[in-house]
Structure 1
Amino acid sequence: MQSFDQDIVRRIRERSADMERRGELDDWLLEKIYDEKLFKLFVPSELNGLGSSLPEALRAFERMSWIDGSLGWLVTIGSGGGFFAAALPERRAAELFSGRKAVLAGSGMPTGKARKVEGGYRVTGSWAYCSGATFATFFTANCKIEGTGEELVRSFAFLPRQVQIAKDWNPLGLRATASHSIEVRDAYVPEDMTFDLTAEPRLNDPIYRYSFLAFAQTSFAAASVGVGRHFLEECAEFAASKAPEWKETSPRRLAALESAVAERLGILEAASDRFYELAESSWDTFVREGTLPEEVWREIGRRSQEAAAAARSGSDAVFPLLGMTALRHDHALCRTWRDLHTVTQHSVLLPENEE
């Protein structure tokens, strides 16, 4: 991430509104992601990946999300596909993950159907919210297996030529993530392009044995913290720009905005510190012992949700103090607020009684 210096951050943010209008990242920004191997954080080094630890990756997710919400979300989701490098057979994993631009898009929802045939399966289905669909080099999705008499679910890898992309992503925020629906119609998928995520992983690195739920919770929480921090920093800059005028015309409004921003930044930092403290200490324990007590897994989930909630509630507390400027769809205040509420809407970041 060293090449994402302040000049690049400024360039990305200057392009954020246009990328949002187009619904995808600029090509030059994708090239930087490929150069930094940010889609390959969890791909092993022998497949041209970075083989990062979870705490390293969480910091990357936060920084990319702080730069731009859509950028951060695509790095978070795209790199998460590296989990499947340990689930696919060795030869297929090498084919799919070794390339410089290798990145998958897909869905974990079992909204497809697969029928066993000689040498593999025939698959039909559609899946929503496949982030990065327009530049993915392959796709993965879950299907229910027909004709077994059981509720069996298996994961399938598809090549781009087998997939139809419906450009239907029209959300509140994260609009530049190309999170479109995909459809597969009676596609033949050979056995070695399928896998079972509940089976023993082929590789021994701890990341492939980590709880997938906890992985999603921590990853999305880190992204939430990044976008939340960006929003509050934009608010602080907005207050500073208005200070000369408001000190004369609206001193109480200025004081209220400055106080709210400072307070909510403090709350977010405290929640972030608690989140990272546990994420890092529990990761060290997991690497050393190969397991964690159930209460630790639950606490990881709670602190992830608390960090996301601190980001979300902080933005909601400050937003009414920003006036009409924050309602401008192409303004950074509005865009970061919308991105944050889209990230934190994910079900794994919501307490059970709010789902």
Structure 2
Amino acid sequence: MSIDGSVIDAPAAPAATDTGLVPAADRLRLLAALHAADADTGRGLSREVTDAIREAGFARHFVSARFGGTEGSFAELTRAVVSVGEGCAASAWCASLAAYSARFASHLPEEGHQALWGAGPDTVVATGLMPAGRARAVDGGWQVTGQWAYVSGIDFADWAMVCAAVGGGEGPPQLRFFTLPRGAYTVRETWDSVGMRATGSHTVVIDDVFVPAHLSFDRTDMLTGRNGTSRVAAHNVPFQAVGGLTFIAPVVGAATGALAACAGSITGRRRNQTAELTVVRASGRVDAARHLVEQNAQVLDERLFTPEHMARNERNATYAAETLREAAALLVGAAGTGGLGEGHALQRFWRDITSATSHVALQYDTAARKNYSAVLLGPAE
């Protein structure tokens, strides 16, 4: 069922997949952890790590098998992203978006699929989901102009996909996505957050660039989950159902990494009962959040797209964000001054969790309150 209650004409839920992504992610976790401190200081992932993200199979995870993609499940991707996040939250964030951006791009017309994946399935797309800029229709396509902030992974992306308003006609402007190859846009290095420094979430600038029709699609298609080009199950999922899963899975991984870092700082010291109890409380929050996030992935793989399930997915992601912020604060408190040293992984995880959970998709009031309150209490009068 779609976001508006209508039935989506798409395949039944796929069988559980094992594409090899999880063991590849486990190897990537070790590499990413090795580079994490330098990535944080230098505000960017190393070429070795970005190449490993691509080679592990994140970009191809949702790509059609006919292009060499793996058509993987949401559950498998979630496990893989969480694993990478245990070593480096920024690496997991970029890996997650590399996978989900390909899912967004599946809404392009067939010629667009050929343009992105005709030469291979490991194309990395960086997406600016928030509408900005403008486009006007011209012969054969669109002229696009604007600036899109917070486009994570743009430094190593092959394509950028941005959302812009199309003017003309009566009523509100139509929103469309436009996909451009590297070289058709410029990047302004504007990302200066205290956390998630290495995601390279800079600003994409497009100055009156022609985008052919086959590299654009209506934003409504992504929101409703109706895909006129592909019948792959993962390509026919309402955006509300997926929502925060893209962003919360890396945070679960980061919190798990923070828990290990805190425990490591306490182990071997003279035991402090208060600190021990604090770590235990934090561990419960991390496990609870992980279960909620895994439940979201299960809903997507089982194609339970009722309004109730989609609203619950929003609640789960945003509640998990709140819970993980609490866990990180508890862990910093338990570790004491040593955990805040610049050379300690715990303070980096703490900053990353704080920054990541500020994302609009993980804000309880904006992403979950309205929809799930209607499920529990009925529509407002």
What's the TM-score once normalised by structure 1's chain length?
0.89
Q: 1:179 aligns to what?
A: 201
**Counterpart among 255, 268, 292 of residue 305 in structure 2:** 292
**Counterpart among 279, 282, 294 of residue 276 in structure 1:** 294
Q: 1:48 aligns to what?
A: 68
**AA in 2 matched with 1:56:** E
Structure 1 portions without partners, runs of 5+: none
Distance in 1 separating the partners of 2:208 and 2:155: 21
**Counterpart among 311, 327, 341 of residue 340 in structure 2:** 327
> Normalized per residue, which structure has more helix?
1
| Secondary structure of residue in 1 paired with 2:220 | coil
**Counterpart among 350, 372, 375 of residue 337 in structure 1:** 350
Compare 166-175 and 320-329 and name the one that shifted more.
320-329
Q: 2:117 aligns to what?
A: 97
Q: 1:127 aligns to what?
A: 148
Q: Counterparts of 1:38-187 in structure 2 under 5 Å?
A: 38-98=58-118, 99=120, 101-150=122-171, 151-187=173-209
**Counterpart among 19, 26, 36 of residue 16 in structure 1:** 36
**AA in 2 matched with 1:94:** Q
Distance in 2 separating the partners of 1:227 and 1:264: 13
Structure 2 portions without partners, runs of 5+: 1-21, 370-381
Shift of 1:187: 0.6
Measured at CA, do residues 184 and 236 of structure 1 come closer, stay the same or move farther in structure 2, by a change above 3 Å? Answer: same
Measured at CA, do residues 310 and 82 of structure 1 come closer, stay the same or move farther in structure 2, by a change above 3 Å? Answer: same
RMSD across aligned positions (CA):
2.1
Distance in 2 separating the partners of 1:112 and 1:136: 20
Partners of 1:61 and 1:219 within 8 A in 2? no
Partners of 1:115 and 1:123 within 8 A in 2? yes
1:218-262 deviation per Cα after TM superposition (whole angstroms, max 9, x unaligned):
232222211111111110001014x1xxx2xxx5xx222222112
> What is the percent sequence identity of the aligned residues?
26
Q: Counterparts of 1:31-42 in structure 2 under 5 Å?
A: 31-42=51-62
| Secondary structure of residue in 1 paired with 2:157 | coil
Shift of 1:124: 0.7
Measured at CA, do residues 211 and 329 of structure 1 come closer, stay the same or move farther in structure 2, by a change above 3 Å? Answer: farther
Distance in 2 separating the partners of 1:115 and 1:284: 37
**AA in 1 matched with 2:300:** W
| Secondary structure of residue in 2 paired with 1:329 | coil
Shift of 1:132: 1.0
1:28-86 deviation per Cα after TM superposition (whole angstroms, max 9, x unaligned):
22222222211221111222222111111111121111121011000111111112342
Measured at CA, do residues 264 and 42 of structure 1 come closer, stay the same or move farther in structure 2, by a change above 3 Å? Answer: same
Shift of 1:175: 0.9
